[in-house]
Each structure stands twice: as structure tokens, then as C-alpha cells.
């Protein structure tokens, strides 16, 4: 018969900064003051695909510029499922983003008529992105990858009267070819880099002149996906069925609060939508439950970007915000993956390509001798080290004020993810007899 000692993995902010630790728990009768939690493994919801962040060019360059053994140490801390956080879902910008050393695409020079993509190349990413992805995959072969473009090649685009970058509809087919050609190019590397999801545009309802971006209306997204990218991606998947993982097309890739545009795209593209991707800079996870889920109850949900900032009043409160809004909240609303933004940045919170200089990454490399992991790293680590790929969310019920979500891992054991936002310890009792004291301002995963 299987036996396991119940454990509690905790992220909190101690005297010396953010930390994560795992302790054993003893089974004992529930105290009368404990908040009781029950789970029901027969009521099952989404399957988890992973936790992680983005391998921007800035992240990759920062890691690549480290000497050994620090370079390997950082990669193992991020991706090693045994000795590190085991992050298993990575988002990659298609071309440059606001975190890169300059703006580039995979086809900066237009070819002659009929051969416009003749100069297509992903060689720029051989500088750092591709080598770091290869090393991450070698450490954790189970990593899932998704790719998102920030902007098409400039020669494909036009400008509005307000100088906003837009994509003329006559170039939609060419842009779809460009996106699918990217999948092919990465798959043809040795070893191959195989993406399992993509979006047609990062934050399509937002434009800024400060860094690569594209204003793509809901109507244009429908046209692009329904009549160009959707069919071409379907053909790509069919051509490589059995040899490569199927690439899912995720819509939206923008904020929870922009649900009206998200719903319009879903209504228009039909079966070409394999899921929806959300960012967390506006709105809340409940926006999906209120406005999208009633019409699309089985639509897979992915939480693909949010970042913390420096200069907030309390690191512990930042951890609690992440616990509610990056992990427990999205997971309760069906998220199959939860991702932060940059996984690594340098001591100036860059390199920058038009971005602001106060955004956080999981790891900050001030110097080779000063490498700092923050509360976002350890908070996401609590989830990634305890909730395994293939885990299924199960029903969890708790008395107020506990906010929680539960999973059953592929090995059969269960995990309760919860947090204590108060200034006092909080006693929690599971119906199995496991009891735990949650430290103030802590994010906790109980495994039993």
C-alpha cells in the first residue's frame, strides 16, 4: 500500500528576504479553531500543463553573459525538476519584444514579388535565445513552449493617422506564412525546438510607439485567423501529425478585462480557437467566468503574462497579490498554465527595448557574484514543484476566509494550494487528518 508523509511547501518573506521551504506534517485530530477543507476527487476540471515565464532575448542574453558555473546554476534553478523550480511552460517572443537588445523580426528585408519572405531567418536568435532554450530543454525535456509575436516585419505594416502600427488586410496571408514559417524553422533546428501553442499577436488591442507592437482589431483578428492563419496552421499540423506535437492556436493574449473583444474573436473564428490566453494587467480572472465561460464552458484557458514591479510598499503583500491573482484565482477559473513575464533580467532590469526599467523577473543578475531570486520566483516555484504536469483540478471546499484550489497529481496524491494574507498564523485542517499552520503572508501547497 502506498504511504506518503504529508508535506507543506511554503513561500514567504523572512528576515533575509523571500524564501521557500518544505516541511513534513503530522496527522492529528483537527483543532476546534482550524479552518476545515474538504476535497472531492470525483469532481474534476482542467488538466495542468505547467508553470513558468518567458525566455525573452533579454533573459537569454543575461544568462548567456554569465560565466560558468553561474550560467548552469541559474538554468538549473529555473528548470531542474529535482534541484530547482522545475518550470515547465515557457513563452517565447517571435522576434523582438520590449525586452531585447534592439528591434528585429525574422524577415527585416522584403524579398521580390512572389518571394517576399526570401530573406527569412531565425539566425538572430542563435545569439542567445536558441542556445538557452536548448539548454533549458536538456535540463527539463518536459518543457512546453508557446510563441507570440509582438509585431510583424515593418515592411508588412502601415500607419494610421495617429501613427499606430497596423497590418493591411492584403498582407494577412503573407503574415500567416511568416508565422507558420517560424514554427518550421525552429522545428528544423538540431535538436529541434517544437512549439505546442502560439498566438497571432501579443496584446492586440494595445499600441505604443516605444517598442514593437501592433494594433489588431477584433474584426481583423477574425479575418486573420479564420481565413489565413487558422487554415495554414491546420495544414501544418496535418503535415506533421505524429512527428511533431500539434500546435494550438490561442486567441486574445491580452487582459482579462478586455473580454468584449475576446468574445467577438471567439464568436468569429469558431473551431480554429484551441484556447484563450490572458494577461493580468487589467480586469480579473472572474471576468472570464462571467463573460466568456457561459458561452464557451470547455474552452482551455492559459494565463500567459503578468509582471511585478519594483518600488511597491511590501514584498510580502506582492507575494499575496500573486497568490490570489496569478495562481489561485486563474487556476479556479480553469487556467491550464500560469506564466509570469521575464524569467531573468540584469541588474538594470533589462536589457530594454523601450520597456520601463522597474519590472521584475524571477531572477535578477546584478553581477556574477550577486544573483537574486525574488518572491515571484518562489511563489511560482511553490506551484511548479508540487502541482505536476497532468494534474487535474478537483473540487475544494473551505470555510471562510480561506481561498484555495486543489489538484490530484498523476501519481494519485493530492495538493491544496492556498495562502494566508493575514498578519496572524492560520490553522487549516484537511478531512484526511492532516493539519497545518500557515505562516502570516505565506503561499502554501499541502501535499498528502
Residue 29 is predicted with a pLDDT of: 64
Locate 423 and state its grid cell. Answer: 498578519
Tell me the pLDDT tens digit for each residue of 51-70.
Answer: 999 999 999 999 999 999 99
Mark whether 264 and 155 lie in a shared domain: yes
- Domain end call among 345, 365, 386: 386
Mark whether 326 and 416 lie in a shared domain: no
Q: What is the pTM of this model?
A: 0.97
Is residue 254 a part of any domain in this protein? yes
Mark whether 152 and 32 lie in a shared domain: no
Residue 1 is predicted with a pLDDT of: 41
Mark whether 341 and 261 lie in a shared domain: yes
Is residue 1 a part of any domain in this protein? no
Is residue 2 a part of any domain in this protein? no
Residue 16 is predicted with a pLDDT of: 80
Is residue 391 a part of any domain in this protein? no
Residue 440 is predicted with a pLDDT of: 96
Mark whether 16 and 156 lie in a shared domain: no
Mark whether 75 and 56 lie in a shared domain: yes
Q: How many whole angstroms separate alpha carbon 385 and alpha carbon 383? A: 6
Q: How many whole angstroms separate alpha carbon 283 and alpha carbon 285? A: 7
Q: How many whole angstroms separate alpha carbon 441 and alpha carbon 23? A: 17
Q: For residue 382, which of 330, 413, 342, 338 has the smallest C-alpha distance?
A: 338
Mark whether 258 and 160 lie in a shared domain: yes
Residue 14 has pLDDT above 60, yes or no: yes
Partner residues linked to 22 by β-bridges: 9
Residue 124 has pLDDT above 90, yes or no: yes
Residue 2 has pLDDT above 60, yes or no: no
Tell me the pLDDT tens digit for each residue of 77-108.
Answer: 999 999 999 999 999 999 999 999 999 999 99
Mean pLDDT to the nearest integer, 16-25: 92
Mark whether 37 and 53 lie in a shared domain: no
Mark whether 247 and 369 lie in a shared domain: yes
Mean pLDDT to the nearest integer, 171-186: 98
Residue 289 has pLDDT above 90, yes or no: yes
Residue 4 has pLDDT above 80, yes or no: no
Is residue 113 a part of any domain in this protein? yes
CA distance to 88, 260, 306, 346, per residue, from 310 (Å): 26, 31, 14, 14
Instruction: Supply the DSSP string of 109-121, one letter for each residue.
Output: S--STT-TTTT--
The owner of cell 513534513 is 24
Mark whether 40 and 132 lie in a shared domain: no
Locate 152 and state its grid cell. Answer: 510583424
Is residue 403 a part of any domain in this protein? yes
- Domain end call among 353, 386, 419: 386
Domain of residue 133, residue span = 49-386
Q: For residue 60, which of 147, 105, 126 has the smallest C-alpha distance?
A: 126
CA distance to 32, 326, 349, per residue, from 420 (Å): 18, 15, 30
Instruction: Return all residues near 327 (Cβ < 8 A) that are at least 6 apart.
Output: 338, 379, 380, 383, 405, 417, 443
Residue 336 sits in a domain of what CATH number?
3.20.20.80
Q: Looking at the 3D structure of the chain, how many domains does it have?
A: 2
Tell me the pLDDT tens digit for each residue of 358-413.
Answer: 999 999 999 999 999 999 999 999 999 999 999 999 999 998 789 999 999 999 99
Is residue 409 a part of any domain in this protein? yes
- Domain end call among 334, 364, 386: 386
Mean pLDDT to the nearest integer, 21-44: 87
Instruction: Return all residues near 74 (Cβ < 8 A) that are at least 6 apart.
Output: 63, 66, 344, 363, 365, 371
Is residue 68 a part of any domain in this protein? yes
Residue 31 is predicted with a pLDDT of: 66
Q: How many whole angstroms separate alpha carbon 397 and alpha carbon 36? A: 8
Residue 433 is predicted with a pLDDT of: 86
Mark whether 55 and 96 lie in a shared domain: yes
Mark whether 182 and 314 lie in a shared domain: yes
Residue 13 sits in a domain of what CATH number?
2.60.40.1180
Amino acid at each position: 500500500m502506498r504511504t506518503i508523509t504529508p508535506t507543506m511547501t511554503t513561500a514567504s518573506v523572512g528576515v533575509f528576504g523571500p524564501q521557500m521551504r518544505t516541511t513534513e506534517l503530522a496527522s492529528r485530530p483537527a483543532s476546534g479553531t482550524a479552518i476545515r477543507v474538504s476535497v472531492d476527487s470525483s469532481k474534476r476540471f482542467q488538466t495542468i500543463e505547467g508553470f513558468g515565464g518567458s525566455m525573452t532575448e533579454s533573459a537569454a542574453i543575461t544568462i548567456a553573459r554569465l560565466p560558468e558555473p553561474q550560467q548552469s546554476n541559474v538554468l538549473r534553478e529555473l528548470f531542474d525538476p529535482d534541484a530547482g523550480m522545475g518550470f515547465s511552460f515557457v513563452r517565447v517572443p517571435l522576434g523582438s519584444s520590449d525586452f531585447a537588445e534592439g528591434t528585429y523580426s525574422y524577415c527585416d528585408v522584403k524579398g521580390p514579388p512572389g518571394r517576399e519572405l526570401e530573406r527569412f531567418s531565425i539566425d538572430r536568435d542563435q545569439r542567445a535565445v536558441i542556445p538557452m532554450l536548448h539548454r533549458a530543454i536538456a535540463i527539463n525535456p518536459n518543457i512546453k513552449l508557446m510563441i507570440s509575436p509582438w509585431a510583424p516585419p515593418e515592411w508588412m505594416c502601415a500607419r494610421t493617422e495617429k501613427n499606430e502600427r497596423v497590418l493591411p488586410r492584403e498582407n494577412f496571408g503573407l503574415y500567416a506564412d511568416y508565422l507558420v514559417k517560424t514554427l518550421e524553422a525552429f522545428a528544423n533546428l538540431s535538436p529541434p525546438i517544437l512549439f505546442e501553442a502560439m498566438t497571432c499577436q501579443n496584446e492586440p488591442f494595445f499600441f505604443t510607439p516605444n517598442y514593437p507592437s501592433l494594433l489588431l482589431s477584433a474584426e481583423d483578428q477574425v479575418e486573420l485567423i479564420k481565413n489565413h492563419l487558422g487554415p495554414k496552421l491546420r495544414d501544418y499540423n496535418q503535415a506533421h501529425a505524429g512527428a511533431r506535437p500539434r500546435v494550438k492556436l490561442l486567441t486574445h493574449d491580452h487582459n482579462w478585462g478586455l473580454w468584449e473583444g475576446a468574445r467577438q474573436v471567439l464568436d468569429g473564428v469558431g473551431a480554429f480557437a484551441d484556447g484563450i490566453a490572458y494577461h493580468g494587467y487589467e480586469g480579473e480572472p472572474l471576468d472570464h467566468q462571467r463573460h466568456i465561460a457561459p458561452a464557451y464552458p470547455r474552452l482551455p484557458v492559459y494565463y500567459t503574462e503578468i509582471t511585478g514591479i519594483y518600488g511597491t510598499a511590501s514584498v510580502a503583500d506582492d507575494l499575496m497579490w500573486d497568490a490570489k491573482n496569478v495562481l489561485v484565482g486563474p487556476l479556479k477559473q480553469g487556467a491550464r498554465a500560469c506564466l509570469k513575464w521575464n524569467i531573468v533580467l540584469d541588474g538594470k532590469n533589462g536589457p530594454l527595448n523601450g520597456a520601463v526599467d522597474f519590472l521584475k523577473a524571477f531572477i535578477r543578475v546584478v553581477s556574477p557574484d550577486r544573483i537574486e531570486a525574488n518572491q515571484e520566483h518562489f511563489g511560482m516555484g511553490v506551484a511548479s514543484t508540487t502541482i505536476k504536469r497532468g494534474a487535474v483540478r478537483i473540487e475544494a471546499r473551505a470555510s471562510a476566509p480561506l481561498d484555495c484550489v486543489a489538484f490530484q497529481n498523476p501519481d494519485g496524491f493530492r495538493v491544496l494550494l492556498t495562502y494566508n494574507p493575514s498578519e496572524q498564523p492560520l490553522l487549516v485542517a484537511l478531512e484526511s487528518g492532516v493539519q497545518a499552520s500557515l505562516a502570516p503572508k505565506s503561499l502554501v501547497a499541502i501535499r498528502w
